[in-house]
Structures are given as structure tokens and as C-alpha cells.
């Protein structure tokens, strides 16, 4: 039986990174099993932006765009533009993104759960239902030679679950990765001094063409909102995902990293942004129309020197947690997944095995993803808000408007486009290029 002679791959964590890696590895011929700690895949999380380069990876992996965009399926928005405003509502600059920027594929603003569901469904279809195993939390592993035995517990009961012996372990278990802890020891991520408050609301008017991301604020507090439902957009409505990134002291224990909060915790800071309206609504009015506001304390880790741990590696947030500037979290996880699939196929063809695959993957992705971690510490493209705030500190509104009118284009080039151009490229074209005749 061919299947049993293939190296067995265990993916720990079936998030966006783990699912995409499973699809890429399956396409590369691997024998893949996903172990996910959640007992059910709940509709959690709010909106995320997925960059054009990552949508290109998914399409290349055989998932048609309609699955993400069709109103009856992923219902995602084909994002065309990002706009930047000061705290008091002065327009600074905008940037075309995705197809509007001439990319081969669209950038997408999506509901995280719908996007994730599309990937999970594709995993189940390709791998088979029985290879997507829920309610199984990684608790530890031992490697002897080229074989690793992985231990799990049943999440809902805490009881030990059967262990699995395999040839390749891929830790895709997110910010608080247990695989990472098993490899590198127990090191808690560092609090960044920032917390992001997020919510979803329905508005009966669109902002602009209904495909636009808008940001306002400065380095101490900034607000982002964007539409995440194509079906609502077609009705002229705005299913709005918003986030307010605020300066906050360190929260108590690990359990308070994510918590439901009340509006009064952010009300005054949002009111200071009343000069901004998107689809006719101020940031505060959006928050007032939001049923549930969730605060996420933001944590950071230093980039790793290597992703090469022999027959084990890390991917996505487990490898490189990213601060939410410039919309790179899901994108970089998807690009890791693209690389692991390609490295697996190359290694099998070259006969260098799992160790060869992991080494090549580390070389392809460790340094470049580390650069995104560092760039995002400096606010990513959102740094343009800080630039304007600092330059215009003592100006009247009229002076600020004149300043932004004169310098907006230059700032867009120097801050926003410099960041965008520094983002990792897909590794795929390297392979696609045909040798010259
Ligand atoms: C519930 C949730 C909501 C989110 N909401 C947003 C959002 O609204 N906006 C945004 O920009 N980003 C959000 N993110 C983060 C974003 O999805 C990630 O940054 C990005 O997709 C990279 O994903 P990842 O697959 O590396 O990690 P994650 O998305 O964190 O996925 C990790 C997966 O591993 C599983 N896992 C964890 N520990 C174990 C274990 N011990 N054993 C087995 N499995 C384990 C988790 O249940 C999860 O499914 C959210 C993440 C999660 C988990």
C-alpha cells in the first residue's frame, strides 16, 4: 500500500495556517492528519484581511475564488482601497490594493469563521473526514531518531487521548503554541502595551464603493473598519468589522488576554474621533451598534533564528506571531503553508526526506517572516498615522489639511508603499518560471 509507506505527517492545530498547510502538503503527495484542540469549529473571530499574494496561493492550491467571494459561500469582499485619516478626520492618503493595484489576485476582507470554514471543508474533502480530528489537544512529544510520538488529551474531558507516532510534526497551534513550548521551553509571549477592541455591526449605508478599508487615529490609538459581507454590499449595506487599537496596561492572567468588554472602556477615545465618518457613521456610533465588543491583549515574540527542528517545524502564529498592522497574520501563515508544500515535494523528489524539507522551509520562510514581525512592531503601513500626528502636533486643523494635501502622496510612497514592498513575495513564481528555450 503506497499510503502506508509514505512518511506520516501530523499537523497540530487546524486554524487558517494548519488547514492551508494540510492542503498544500496533500497536494505535494503527503499523508496528512490534522489534530485540532477545539471540539467544535465555532463562529469565532471577526474580520480579517487576506492579501492578494495569499489569495493567489489558495487559488493555486485548487480553491476557486468563488468559494471565498460568492455571497452563498465565503461572502468575502474584493477589497479595492485603504484610506488613512487623522484622529480629527483629516484625509491623509489612500492606497489601491488587490486587483485595483494591478495584482493578479484580489485582496479580500472576510469573516474569519467563513474563510476558515472554506479551508476546513477543503481539508475534509481532500484528506477525508477521519483525518481532521477535533477535540485533540497536543500535550507533548518525544523524538527518537526520525520518529516522533505525539501525545494528546481530549479537550472537553482533559483525559489522555491515544498517542500517535509519525515522521513529521508541524506545529500550527497559534500564539500560545504548545509545540513551540515543547521545542523551545516555556516562554510566555511579551505584552506589547496595546489591546485591540473588536466588533461587528450592521450599517445601512456603505462607505465609498463598499470595498474600502478605512483607518484613523494616531500611534496611541487607532481605529480600523472594513466591510466583510459581499451579499450585504450588493444590497447597499455595510457589514462592518471594526477594531480599535489602544494603549493599555498589562492585563492580569492568561485567561484575561481575550475578554468581553463594555463600551465605556473605549467610549472617550472613540468620541475623540468624531470628525471621522465612514458610511455616515463615526467610530463611536459603530461601537454603539455593536452587540459584543471583545478586547484582545496584543502579545509579541522575537523572531526565531531557525524553523529547523529536524523532523518538526512551526508555521503561522506559532512560528511568528504578528501584530495586527498591515493585515499580515493570515497572509503570512498561508505563505508559510505554500512554502512547506513546495519544500516537501522538492525533498521527496531529491530524496532528502523530512529533514531536507524542514531545512529548506526554514531557509525560505524564517528570515522573511521575522522581518514582517519587526516591520509590524513599527506599526506597518499604519505608521503613516504616527508620521502625520508628529508632524502636525501644533497645527490648526486648516494647517493640518494643507500639510496633508501637500505631503499625503509623498507619505503614501515613503511609509505605506515602502512597507508593502518589503513584504515577502510568493515563492511560487520561482518554480513556475520555465527555463529559456
Ligand atoms: C478563535 C480565533 C479568532 C481569531 N480572530 C481573529 C480576528 O478576528 N482577526 C484577526 O486578524 N485575526 C484573528 N485571529 C488570528 C488569525 O486567525 C491568525 O493570526 C492567522 O490566521 C494565523 O493563523 P494560525 O493558523 O497560525 O493560528 P490560529 O488561527 O491561532 O490557529 C491555531 C489553531 O490551533 C489550535 N490549537 C491551539 N492549541 C492547540 C493544541 N495544544 N493542540 C491542538 N490544536 C491547538 C487552535 O484551536 C486553532 O484552531 C484569530 C485566531 C483565533 C484562534
- CB-CB contact of 276 with 282 (8 Å): yes
232, pLDDT greater than 70: yes
385-391 contacts: CB < 8 A, separation 24 or more? 385/84, 385/86, 385/92, 385/215, 385/216, 385/217, 385/218, 385/219, 385/222, 386/218, 386/219, 387/411, 387/415, 388/86, 388/90, 388/92, 388/218, 389/86, 389/87, 389/218, 389/219
| Same domain as 274, residue 144 | no
Residue 21: CA atoms inside 13 Å, Cβ hemisphere, count? 34
**Residue 326: CATH number of its domain:** 3.50.50.60
The three cell numbers of residue 248 are 493599555
Alpha helix stretches (DSSP H) within 266-325: 267-271, 283-288
| Same domain as 198, residue 261 | yes
User: Residue 153: pLDDT band by 50, 70, 90 thresholds?
Assistant: very high
| Same domain as 278, residue 197 | yes
In short, whether 199's Cβ falls inside 6 Å of ligand 1 is no
Q: Kindly give the number of the ligand 1 atom that is closest to the alpha carbon of 16.
A: 25
In a domain, 50, yes or no: yes
Average pLDDT over residues 416-424: 88
| Same domain as 222, residue 100 | yes
Using one digit for the tens of pLDDT, what is the confidence trace for 44-86?
778 999 999 999 999 999 999 999 999 999 999 999 999 999 9
Look up residue 145 and give its DSSP letter.
T
In a domain, 437, yes or no: no
| Spacing, Cα 295 to ligand 1 middle (Å) | 16
Share of residues in the chain with pLDDT > 90 (%): 83
The range of the structural domain enclosing residue 228 comes to 77-107+190-300+380-422
- CB-CB contact of 368 with 53 (8 Å): no
Average pLDDT over residues 362-377: 94
pLDDT computed for residue 431 by the predictor: 52
pLDDT computed for residue 437 by the predictor: 40
The three cell numbers of residue 294 are 471583545
* Lowest-pLDDT choice from 120-129, 304-313, 418-427: 418-427
| Same domain as 134, residue 30 | yes
Q: Which residue's CA is minimally distant from atom 35 of ligand 1? A: 13
For the chain, how many helices (H) and strands (E)? 15, 19
| Same domain as 255, residue 290 | yes
> 261, exposed or middle or buried, with CB in 10 Å at 0-12, 13-18, 19+?
middle
In a domain, 28, yes or no: yes
In short, whether 298's Cβ falls inside 6 Å of ligand 1 is no
| Same domain as 284, residue 268 | yes
Q: Which residue's CA is minimally distant from atom 26 of ligand 1? A: 316
In short, whether 326's Cβ falls inside 6 Å of ligand 1 is no
In a domain, 21, yes or no: yes
Nearest Cα neighbor of 304 from 313, 291, 294 is 313
At CA 385, angle to CA 384 and CA 389, rounded to 5? 115
Q: How many CB atoms lie within 10 A of CB 160?
A: 11
Q: Kindly give the number of the ligand 1 atom that is closest to the alpha carbon of 35.
A: 43
- Domain total for the chain? 2
pLDDT computed for residue 98 by the predictor: 95
In a domain, 114, yes or no: yes
Mean residue pLDDT of the chain comes to: 93
User: Residue 109: pLDDT band by 50, 70, 90 thresholds?
Assistant: very high
pLDDT computed for residue 219 by the predictor: 94
In short, whether 36's Cβ falls inside 6 Å of ligand 1 is yes
pLDDT computed for residue 433 by the predictor: 43
| Same domain as 204, residue 155 | no
CA–CA gap between residue 412 and residue 433 (Å, rounded): 32
Average pLDDT over residues 183-200: 92
CA–CA gap between residue 370 and residue 376 (Å, rounded): 10
| Same domain as 218, residue 360 | no
200, pLDDT greater than 80: yes
In short, whether 283's Cβ falls inside 6 Å of ligand 1 is no
In a domain, 164, yes or no: yes
| Same domain as 312, residue 283 | no
CA–CA gap between residue 329 and residue 85 (Å, rounded): 23
Report the relative pairing of strands 8-12 and 81-85 from DSSP bridges.
Answer: unpaired
Q: Kindly give the number of the ligand 1 atom that is closest to the alpha carbon of 177.
A: 38
2, pLDDT greater than 50: no
| Same domain as 232, residue 364 | no
Q: Which residue's CA is minimally distant from atom 42 of ligand 1? A: 137
**Residue 245: CATH number of its domain:** 3.30.9.30
432, pLDDT greater than 80: no
pLDDT computed for residue 295 by the predictor: 94
Nearest Cα neighbor of 35 from 112, 130, 158 is 130
287 vs 43, higher pLDDT: 287
In a domain, 361, yes or no: yes
Using one digit for the tens of pLDDT, what is the confidence trace for 242-270?
999 999 998 877 767 888 999 999 999 99
| Same domain as 209, residue 182 | no
CA–CA gap between residue 47 and residue 64 (Å, rounded): 20
| Spacing, Cα 336 to ligand 1 middle (Å) | 15
User: Which helix (H) or strand (E) is 197 found in, with range?
Assistant: strand 190-203
In a domain, 154, yes or no: yes
Q: Which residue's CA is minimally distant from atom 21 of ligand 1? A: 330
pLDDT computed for residue 150 by the predictor: 98
193 vs 43, higher pLDDT: 193
pLDDT computed for residue 5 by the predictor: 73
Amino acid at each position: 500500500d503506497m499510503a502506508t509507506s509514505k512518511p506520516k505527517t501530523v499537523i497540530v492545530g487546524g486554524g487558517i495556517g494548519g488547514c492551508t498547510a494540510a492542503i498544500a502538503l496533500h497536494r505535494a503527495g503527503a499523508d496528512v492528519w490534522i489534530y485540532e484542540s477545539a471540539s467544535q469549529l465555532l463562529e469565532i473571530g471577526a474580520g480579517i484581511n487576506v492579501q492578494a499574494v495569499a489569495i493567489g496561493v489558495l487559488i493555486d492550491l485548487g480553491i476557486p475564488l468563488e468559494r471565498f467571494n460568492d455571497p452563498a459561500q465565503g461572502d468575502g469582499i474584493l477589497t479595492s482601497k485603504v484610506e488613512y485619516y487623522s484622529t480629527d478626520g483629516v484625509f491623509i492618503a489612500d492606497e489601491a490594493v488587490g486587483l485595483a493595484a494591478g495584482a493578479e489576485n484580489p485582496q479580500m476582507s472576510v469573516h474569519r469563521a467563513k474563510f476558515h470554514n472554506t479551508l476546513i471543508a477543503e481539508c475534509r474533502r481532500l484528506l477525508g473526514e477521519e483525518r481532521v480530528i477535533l477535540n485533540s489537544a497536543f500535550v507533548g512529544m518525544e523524538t527518537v531518531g526520525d520518529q516522533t510520538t505525539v501525545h494528546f488529551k481530549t479537550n472537553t474531558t482533559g483525559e489522555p487521548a491515544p498517542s500517535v507516532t509519525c515522521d513529521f510534526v508541524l506545529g500550527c497551534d497559534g500564539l500560545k503554541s504548545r509545540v513551540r513550548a515543547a521545542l523551545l521551553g516555556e516562554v510566555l509571549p511579551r505584552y506589547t502595551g496595546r489591546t485591540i477592541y473588536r466588533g461587528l455591526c450592521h450599517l445601512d449605508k456603505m462607505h465609498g464603493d463598499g470595498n474600502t478599508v478605512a483607518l484613523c487615529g494616531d500611534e496611541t490609538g487607532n481605529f480600523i473598519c472594513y466591510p466583510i459581507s459581499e451579499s450585504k454590499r450588493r444590497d447597499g449595506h455595510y457589514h462592518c468589522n471594526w477594531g480599535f487599537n489602544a494603549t493599555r496596561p498589562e492585563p492580569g492572567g492568561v485567561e484575561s488576554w481575550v475578554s468581553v468588554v463594555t463600551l465605556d472602556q473605549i467610549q472617550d477615545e472613540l468620541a475623540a474621533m468624531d470628525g471621522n465618518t465612514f458610511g455616515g457613521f463615526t467610530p463611536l456610533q459603530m461601537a454603539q451598534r455593536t452587540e459584543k465588543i471583545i478586547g484582545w491583549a496584543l502579545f509579541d515574540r522575537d523572531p526565531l533564528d531557525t524553523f529547523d527542528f529536524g523532523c518538526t517545524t512551526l508555521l503561522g502564529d506559532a512560528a511568528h506571531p504578528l501584530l495586527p498592522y498591515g493585515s499580515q497574520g493570515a497572509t503570512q501563515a498561508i505563505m508559510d503553508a505554500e512554502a512547506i508544500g513546495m519544500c516537501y515535494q522538492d525533498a521527496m523528489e531529491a530524496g532528502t526526506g523530512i529533514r531536507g524539507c524542514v531545512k529548506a522551509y526554514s531557509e525560505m520562510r524564517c528570515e522573511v517572516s521575522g522581518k514582517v514581525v519587526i516591520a509590524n512592531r513599527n506599526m506597518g503601513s499604519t505608521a503613516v498615522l504616527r508620521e502625520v500626528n508628529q508632524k502636525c502636533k501644533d497645527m490648526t486643523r486648516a494647517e493640518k489639511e494643507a500639510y496633508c494635501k501637500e505631503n499625503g502622496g509623498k507619505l503614501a510612497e515613503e511609509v505605506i508603499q515602502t512597507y508593502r514592498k518589503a513584504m515577502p513575495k510568493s515563492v511560487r513564481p520561482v518554480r513556475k518560471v520555465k527555463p529559456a528555450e
